[in-house]
Structure 1
Amino acid sequence: MYSINEVAAICEVTAHTLRFYDKEGLLPFVGRNGAGNRIFSDGDLSLVKVICCLKNTGMPIKDIKKYIELIMEGDSTKETRRSIMIEHRKEVLRQMDELKKNLNIIDLKVALYDTNNYDLLREI
């Protein structure tokens, strides 16, 4: 079992972020100990890692919540969850393509600065 601070450290988020996720309904699976503190199992930790991944790749909280709700409904929602992941993957790939295009422009600018070709710098 893990404390909220341990999960926060593993997932590289703050405990405050995890409390926010809980308040937003993203952590309905997390239990509490006798003192009322959140306790996370290995399975809970795995789901928190997925939640953080989805959030870090731009999925809105409301969509993550829907995904978690589908998980909580059980095996009958596997195909729907799979579809959600496929669509999100497509969006992440689109974002990566856009980032690569922008990185190419940045690399070109750096190369131009390295050559001191200021006339070309103004054009790009």
Structure 2
Amino acid sequence: MYTVKQVAEKLDMNPHTVRFYTDNNLIPDLKRGENNVRLFDEDAIGWLTGVKNLRDCGMSLKAIRKYVDLCLIGQEALPERIEIVREQQEKVNRELEKLQRCATYLSDKLDFYDRLQKGEETYDKSNPTEWKRKKS
């Protein structure tokens, strides 16, 4: 059995986050020791790892709670679990596309600034204060 601190270190998490997840009933059948201290067995660590991964993927606590509840139902809830994961995957893919556009924009801007510094460009066309000078 592991304590909150041990689990937090093992999973590279903040102990407050571990407590938050347990307080929100995202770790089924969590054991308690003396003085109501949270104790984690391998099953609890498995649940916590799953919750951490889903949060890292941007899933809301509400969706994770529903997912956990569906896991507890078992195989018959598999289609609903698949749908929850599929929806999150679509959100992540949209975010990846947006981040790729941002990365391309920033890379192009840095390339332009590099050319501007080298004198390969005549004015800073991305700076509105330069537009007035260009028109003059």
TM-score of the superposition, structure 2-length normalised? 0.78
Displacement of 1:6: 2.0
Higher RCO by CA contacts (8 Å cutoff, separation 6 or greater): 1
- Displacement of 1:35 in angstroms is 4.1
* Structure 2 Cα separation of the partners of residues 9 and 108 of structure 1: 40
Query: Partner amino acid for 1:15?
Result: P
Q: Which structure 1 residue ranges, 4+ long, deviate > 3 Å from structure 2?
A: none
Equivalents in 2 of 1:30, 1:17: separation in Å? 15
Q: Which residue of 2 aligns with 1:97?
A: 97
Asked whether the 8 Å contact 1:30–1:39 carries over to 2, the reply is yes
- The one-letter code sitting in structure 1 at the alignment partner of 2:58 is G
Number of residue pairs the alignment of both structures matches = 123
Structure 1 residue runs of 5 or longer lacking an equivalent are none
Structure 1 equivalent of residue 66 of structure 2: 66
Identity percentage over the alignment? 28
With normalisation by structure 1, the TM-score equals 0.84
Residue 69 (structure 2) pairs with residue 46 (structure 1)? no
Matches within 5 A, 1:4-83: 4-83=4-83
Cα deviation 1:37-96 (Å, max 9, x = unaligned): 212222222221221122122211111111111112222212211221122111111111
Amino acid at match of 2:9: A
Q: Identify the match of residue 119 of structure 1 among 114, 124, 133.
A: 124
Query: Gaps (5+ residues) in structure 2?
Result: 129-136
Alignment RMSD, CA only?
1.9
Contact 1:7/1:45, CA 8 A, preserved across alignment: yes
Q: Tell me the amino acid that sits aligned with residue 42 of structure 1.
A: E
Distance 1:113 1:11 in 2: 42
